[in-house]
Structure 1
Amino acid sequence: MNREAPTASRAQGWGRIYFAVQAVAGLAWWVGVFLSPAIRTATLGSLDPVLVAAFDVPLFVVASAWAAFGVRTGAMVATSWTGLVAVALATYATFSTEAGWGVLIMLAAAACSTIALFLVVEGRVPTELIVRGPFAFRPAPTLRGVAANVAATMGQLALFWGLFLVVLPSVICWFEQRWAVSLALPSTAAPAGLVVLVLASCLGIASAVTMSSAGGGTPLPSAMPNRLVIAGPYRWVRNPMAVAGITQGVAVGLILGSWLVVAYAAIGSLLWNYAVRPLEEADLESRFGAEFRHYRDSVRCWIPRVGRN
């Protein structure tokens, strides 16, 4: 019996359910736009709702409804239109400082529609594309010494922390202010975030040094460890660097007073957990076999088991 067929069928069903929900939500949103000036202003700004509805209702609401019945063309049209609207509305909001909440709604719809499109068309999301090319899993050169691995790891940390904890949060925070979608956080958020950032950074550094010194490699997929690391923070959770990175992202959001940066960290955790982690663990199982399976069964991914050492 082919087990992939029922799995694909279920996935297609979930994709169709999403498009059904999107069609209903889209219709409800348009009703709100025409009945509530507050909703219209928050999501469309000064744009003419009649003109926008003339295109959006058939290409978003109706197309999503067709996709809910399994019509692939409807799924493609709805997804393409949603992406186009998200980009156009983001451009409009950036220049006009209006319709910021509409941008966030359409960006979320574009991302979810893309996932649902893959489910409807292919019965799965091709997450393996994430680890192609320079991001493909490759063991580090075995001739490279511990000092070289630690130095390479520190360089990677500086690069990735600079990008994901400084550059991207700063850009997100700027758009949050520009689109006028910021929310007030408690006055204690910034100092609490600073404490959390320091603690999470210490965990990240300790995990990186342990991996590069004990594993004969680096955290980078293109130079992965040659030995399974079950030492230091890895004795308590399987992915302490991911825990540290996600926590750092939340902490930066608290420091900046940006709920969107906090959401960015949360979305990153979902992406890593459901798209990257299964691929990484499949690679580890293929290379380390029973040793990794025992480790996976003994140590949790996110939360340490109380009483284990």
Structure 2
Amino acid sequence: MQALAGAGWWAAVFTLPPVREATLGGLDPVLVAAFDVPLFVVGSALVAARVRVALWAVVPWTLLVAAVMTVYATLTERAGWGAVLMLASAAATAFAAALVTFGRLPGEKLLIGPFGFAIAKSTGRIPLLAQTAAQIVCFWGLFLVVLPAVIVWFEQRWRVHLALPPWFGAAGVILFVAMTVIGLWSAYTMSTIGRGTPLPSAMPRQLVIAGPYRVVRNPMAVVGIAQGVAVGMVLGSWLVIVYALCGSVIWNVLIQPHEEADLEARFGDDYRAYRDRVGVWLPRIPSVRRAEASPSATRGDPAHARARRRR
């Protein structure tokens, strides 16, 4: 797909002047193509054909071009779409290279620092609430204020801003407020019932299935992504919305499987029953058959308890 996309883009560059101006600006297309076609287009095709040594050409070249185009677009205010496309291509190349090299996406390499798994050390309610509040201020401030502001600056500088419907702003405010309330509720539930924090570095001591956790398995992740989308709507920035949605993919693919494996190892059958009953992103409507088969559906049934005692 990457090789075909690159070939299609070069065909458009040489046949459509607006595409050439939007993606290359004043750069000489013949000179750039002399390097990019063999190193990116042909190299990607070779990797797809299982010639893995071509990775050593494709990955460094793609990262270099992405960096050069970012600097060029920022300094000249031209070829902004080229910078956006090359940054997306660099990310796709990195993911593809990981799949080719490891046969999977090594998400465990991200589980360091605040994302490394560890049980919360404190058990006091007030310290845990204070720690959770500090986490919210730091992470929401970084991911919902600082990074979106940087993205909007580049979006304007690169002249890739797109006009969004006027009602987006008001809808974004409503969405942000609603998600913030749910996020604070989730964090409070995690601290008071689970005796932990939302961050993996201070994980709960008890399995939390109360509050928003009755509806989805990780409401804090859902809230964070929705808040990011809401910020993009308020700012009128399509790039911020894409940034938030990319965050959902990264979390779902790289972090969530390891987090759920850890929860299953610590809480066993209780977590497996919870996982089977509650969705990750969207609420599930349980069928009658599933409800009857679920351990949690019968755990509180007196008749079931008497039958189990007889057995």
Q: After TM superposition, is the score higher than 0.5?
A: yes
Is residue 2:230 matched to residue 1:251? yes
Shift of 1:53: 1.0
Is residue 2:52 matched to residue 1:72? yes
Partner of 2:301: none
Is residue 2:103 matched to residue 1:123? yes
Q: Do 2:114 and 2:199's aligned partners in 1 also have CA atoms closer than 8 Å?
A: no
Is residue 2:83 matched to residue 1:103? yes
Is residue 2:158 matched to residue 1:187? no
Alignment-mate amino acid for residue 263 of structure 1: V
Shift of 1:305: 2.7
Alignment-mate amino acid for residue 155 of structure 2: E
Among 127, 147, 159, the alignment partner of 2:138 is 159
State how 1:1-309 maps to structure 2 within 5 Å. 21-141=1-121, 143-306=122-285
TM-score by length of 2: 0.90
Please state whether the residue corresponding to 1:289 is helix, strand or coil. helix
Q: Do 2:106 and 2:254's aligned partners in 1 also have CA atoms closer than 8 Å?
A: no
1:134 and 1:271 map into 2 onto residues whose CA distance is: 16
Partner of 1:13: none
Shift of 1:204: 0.3
Partner of 2:308: none
Alignment-mate amino acid for residue 164 of structure 1: F
Shift of 1:24: 1.9
1:192-235 deviation line (CA, Å, top 9, x unaligned): 10111000000000000000010111111111100001111111
Which stretch of structure 1 is more off in the superposition, 196-205 or 127-136?
127-136
Which stretch of structure 1 is more off in the superposition, 298-307 or 279-288?
298-307
Q: Do 2:23 and 2:83's aligned partners in 1 also have CA atoms closer than 8 Å?
A: yes
1:235 and 1:28 map into 2 onto residues whose CA distance is: 47
Which stretch of structure 1 is more off in the superposition, 129-138 or 227-236?
129-138
Alignment-mate amino acid for residue 89 of structure 2: A
2:211 and 2:168 map into 1 onto residues whose CA distance is: 30
Shift of 1:43: 0.4
Shift of 1:306: 4.0
1:65 and 1:59 map into 2 onto residues whose CA distance is: 10
TM-score by length of 1: 0.90
Alignment-mate amino acid for residue 139 of structure 1: I
1:62-91 deviation line (CA, Å, top 9, x unaligned): 211211211112123111111110010000
Shift of 1:144: 3.0
Alignment-mate amino acid for residue 150 of structure 1: L
1:79-128 deviation line (CA, Å, top 9, x unaligned): 11111100100000000011111111111111111111122222112111
